[in-house]
Amino acid sequence: MPIAWESSFDAALAKSRETGRLVMAEFHSPH
């Protein structure tokens, strides 16, 4: 099952508000 990453931080917060779920923000480096 692929992970459905939100396209932006604001979109993630909006979905969090809509669903009541926490945002899991993964901060990563491309290296």
Q: What minimum distance in Å lies between the beta carbon of 14 and other proteins?
A: 8
Residue among 10, 7, 9, 4 at smallest CA distance from 25: 9
Q: How many other C-beta atoms can be found within 10 angstroms of the C-beta atom of residue 15?
A: 13
Q: Which two tokens stand for residue 5?
A: 């990453």
Q: Which two tokens stand for residue 19?
A: 């669903």
Residues numbered 7-26 forming contacts with other proteins, rule: CB under 8 A: 8-9, 11-17, 19, 21-26
Q: What minimum distance in Å lies between the beta carbon of 10 and other proteins?
A: 10
Which chain residues interact with other proteins by CB under 8 A?
1-6, 8-9, 11-17, 19, 21-30
